[in-house]
């Protein structure tokens, strides 16, 4: 898509497709708080902070956009506080774009503590036990107050299995159709909230559900396209299904998402998953894996994964990866990082997080470069060879 003469006078968000290589694509997504080069990985800032990282450090490693969790921010600090700051950006000192989830996944994760009805989800607050009710309308109101650049519709995440039995076609269909009715309510509520706002528009994304069934995924996508959204996400993956199932649904659904809108794979995953996702045509990713694993001393590198707590690193003078340009690799030895992990020093978690996020963002940059140069398949083969080689 080319920009009209005179620049960005169209309603945002604008999505400029720059290059295609097979299904993989490079694009530029214009949002209220800045431009995001895709494909991109979004570090997860659950409570309004990417754990162990300052906004300056995130900027230094090249994070263009971060994710915030609607559910958690609604409970703490609460909307009164965030509204006082005019939104999440000023409250947390982050000036670049933010995507917020709808809270649906967190509520769903409460398991037996929540009750789903047509109207919404009733649950007990995990913070203080208060009885709360989350609906599509409430979720849109919260995300509007957060002023997220990208808001997500409120949906139900279909479980992969219940008590060891995979979700049936009929149950997955009923869940997906409930999500569609909530998608329509989300769209209407969002339009009403945005009606009084002038200037640049924040984006609202639809979420494709349908469990492990291609026919249901297609039905979900068709209905979401009819409602109309600024971008489309694939939800309900990485919820306990075998990897082959995830890849089957991904490779079916991703290329069918509208070509001229951003495509987001929610909550996935490993470096291999990101490469598979980009190969299938995905633009946006998020996952807690690089930050959560870092705090346990699990590092991702181009040569495979490195578990810092392993005794073999006790006297290893080398950096995590000699070719990595991050602060942790430029300055510290594996032996020191191993020591920090063993004594649970906060600095150990911080340095490991810096390295892992730097690696994830560098991986995305490498993919953008490879797509622009028309050599994504070569890149993908080399990536696979290196990752399976193992760390020295």
Q: Which residues bind Zn ion (CB under 5 A)?
A: 324, 326, 328-329, 355
- H helical segments located in the chain: 55-60, 70-75, 79-84, 88-92, 104-109, 136-146, 169-194, 214-227, 243-253, 271-279, 289-295, 327-331, 334-342, 346-372, 376-389
238 φ/ψ sector (left φ>0, alpha ψ -120 to 50, else beta): left
Residue 139 token pair: 């979720």
Q: Which of 147, 273, 283, 286 is catalytic?
A: 286
Question: Which residue from 212, 208, 231, 211 is spatially nearest to 221, judged by alpha carbons?
Answer: 208
Residue with Cβ nearer Zn ion (135 or 356): 356
Based on C-alpha coordinates, what's the Rg of the chain? Answer: 21
Residue with Cβ nearer Zn ion (50 or 183): 50
Residue with Cβ nearer Zn ion (28 or 307): 307
Angle at 318 between CA 314 and CA 323, to 5 degrees: 140
Q: How far apart are alpha carbons 103 and 73 in whole angstroms?
A: 10
Bond into 137 cis (ω within 30): no
What residues are paired with 17 via a beta bridge?
Answer: 27
Residue with Cβ nearer Zn ion (208 or 324): 324
Residue 326 CB, nearest distance to Zn ion (Å)? 3
Residue 385 CB, nearest distance to Zn ion (Å)? 20
Structure-token match 């530029």, residue found: 28
Residue 106 token pair: 């967190």
Q: Which of 101, 147, 155, 321 is catalytic?
A: 101
Residue with Cβ nearer Zn ion (203 or 294): 294
Residue 78 CB, nearest distance to Zn ion (Å)? 37
Residue 320 CB, nearest distance to Zn ion (Å)? 5
286 is catalytic: yes
Residues with catalytic roles: 101, 286
């Amino acid at each position: 898509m080319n920009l009209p003469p005179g620049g960005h006078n169209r309603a945002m968000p604008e999505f400029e497709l720059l290059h295609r290589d097979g299904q993989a694509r490079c694009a530029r997504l214009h949002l209220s708080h800045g431009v995001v080069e895709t494909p991109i990985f979004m570090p997860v800032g659950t409570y309004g902070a990417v754990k162990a990282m300052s906004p300056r450090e995130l900027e230094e490693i090249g994070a263009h956009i971060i994710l915030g969790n609607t559910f958690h921010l609604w409970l703490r600090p609460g909307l009164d506080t965030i509204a006082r700051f005019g939104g999440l950006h000023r409250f947390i000192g982050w000036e670049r774009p933010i995507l917020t989830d709808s809270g649906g996944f967190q509520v769903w994760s409460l398991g037996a503590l929540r009750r789903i009805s047509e109207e919404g989800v009733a649950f007990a607050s995990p913070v203080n036990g208060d009885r709360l009710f989350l609906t599509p309308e409430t979720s849109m109101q919260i995300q509007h107050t957060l002023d997220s650049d990208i808001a997500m519709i409120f949906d139900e995440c279909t479980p992969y299995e219940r008590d060891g039995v995979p979700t049936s076609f009929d149950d997955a269909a009923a869940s997906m159709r409930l999500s569609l009715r909530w998608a329509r309510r989300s769209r209407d509520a969002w339009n009403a909230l945005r009606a009084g706002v002038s200037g640049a528009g924040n984006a609202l994304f639809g979420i494709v559900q349908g469990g492990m069934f291609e026919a249901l995924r297609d039905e979900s996508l068709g209905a979401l396209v009819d409602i109309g959204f600024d971008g489309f996400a694939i939800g309900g993956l990485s919820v306990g299904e075998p990897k082959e199932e995830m890849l089957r649904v991904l490779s079916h659904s991703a290329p069918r998402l509208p070509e001229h809108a951003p495509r987001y794979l929610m909550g996935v995953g490993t470096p291999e998953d990101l490469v598979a996702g980009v190969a299938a045509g995905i633009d946006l990713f998020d996952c807690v894996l690089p930050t959560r694993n870092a705090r346990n001393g699990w590092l991702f590198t181009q040569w495979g994964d490195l578990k810092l707590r392993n005794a073999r690193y006790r006297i290893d003078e080398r950096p995590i990866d000699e070719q990595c340009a991050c602060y942790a690799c430029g300055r510290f030895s594996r032996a020191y990082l191993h020591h920090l992990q063993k004594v649970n020093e906060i600095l150990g978690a911080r340095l490991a997080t810096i390295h892992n996020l730097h690696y994830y963002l560098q991986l995305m940059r490498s993919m953008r470069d490879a797509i622009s140069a028309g050599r994504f398949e070569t890149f993908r083969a080399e990536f696979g060879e290196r990752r399976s080689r193992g760390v020295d």
